[in-house]
Structure 1
Amino acid sequence: MSLKGKVGTEIEIKSPPEKYYNIFKGQAYHVPNAAPDHIQGVDVHEGDWETHGSVKIWKYTLEGKSGLVFKEKVEYDDANRSATLIGVDGDIMQEYKTFKATYQVVPKGTGSLAKLNIEYEKLREDVPAPDKYITLMVNITKGIDEHITKA
């Protein structure tokens, strides 16, 4: 059984791709307002809101468990409207040696297609694939989409 893997999904959203990507690129502080049931806070630990390589600390709820923390270093790909959050510390890192969550958005019709992926390496064979984190990413994306389209 392989410890490395990749999981992902795609969902259609109403938001224009630039507005969705810009939330991750420089306005991540809006995510707790857009998805308060899932994200309770995000703070810059190193760098700033929009610089490649900045480090942020997210406080989140997963499957009813609140008070979880994810410390990530962000990589931006402006050409592909993609933000990759690379886990460096936090609750996730108790189960995964590597954890890279990517939010990418591409134009589709009058809205966009959000492509959500996680590349990971488990610490042990008994650790499940991070499907619950893909569900979290979907819920965050839906919240961001609603936040953008009602604004």
Structure 2
Amino acid sequence: MSLFGKVEADVEIKAPAEKFHEIVSCRPHHISNVSPGVIQGCALHEGDWGNENSVINWDYVHDGKAKVAKEIIEAIDKENNSVTFKVIEGDLMEEYKNIKITIQATPKGEGSLVHWTIEYEKLHENIVEPNTLLQLALDLSKDLDAHLVQA
């Protein structure tokens, strides 16, 4: 059994890809206002909002438990509406040696298709794939969509 893996999923939203990308890459600190049931807080630890190599602290709820994560923004691609975060500290590191999350929003019809990819390396083979984390991301996308369409 491999310790390395990847889980992916798409969610269709009504909001424009550029607006979705802008909030997840440049204004993630607004997400806790939009989806307080999932994200309790987001604070800049190092760098500047919307810049690569910036470090962000997240307070969130996963599987019914309050958790924390510290992530570095590895890449922001404004042309392709993509952002990649690498988890460097927090609760996820208790099960995963490495975990990287990529979010890409692509225009589709009058809305967008948001593609989430979670690449990971488990600490040992008894760790489950991060499917519930992926579901959390999809739920978060729907909350952000509802907010962006209202705005």
TM-score tier (shorter): over 0.9
1:31-81 deviation line (CA, Å, top 9, x unaligned): 001111000000000001111110000000012112x10100012122221
Task: State the identity %.
Answer: 43
1:25 deviates by 2.2
Query: In 2, distance between residues paired with 1:88 and 1:137?
Result: 18
Q: Which residue is equivalent to 2:28?
A: 28
Hey, what does 1:123 align to over in structure 2? 123
Q: What is the alpha-carbon distance in structure 2 between the residues aligned to residue 22 and residue 79 of structure 1?
A: 11
TM-score (normalised: structure 1)? 0.97
Runs of 4+ in 1 over 4 A off after TM superposition: none
Residue identity in the other structure for 1:143: D
1:128-147 matches, within 5 Å, as 128-147=128-147
Structure 1: state its 5+ residue gaps.
none
In the alignment, the residues of structure 2 paired with residue 73 and residue 50 of structure 1 have an alpha-carbon distance, to the nearest angstrom, of 11
Give the counterpart letter for 1:28 in structure 2: P
Is 1:94 matched with 2:94?
Answer: yes
**AA aligned opposite 1:72:** E
Classify the secondary structure of the residue corresponding to 2:79. helix
Aligned to 1:71: 70
Q: Which moved more, 1:6-15 or 1:78-87?
A: 78-87
Q: If the length of structure 2 is used for normalisation, what is the TM-score?
A: 0.97
SS of the equivalent of 1:114 reads: strand
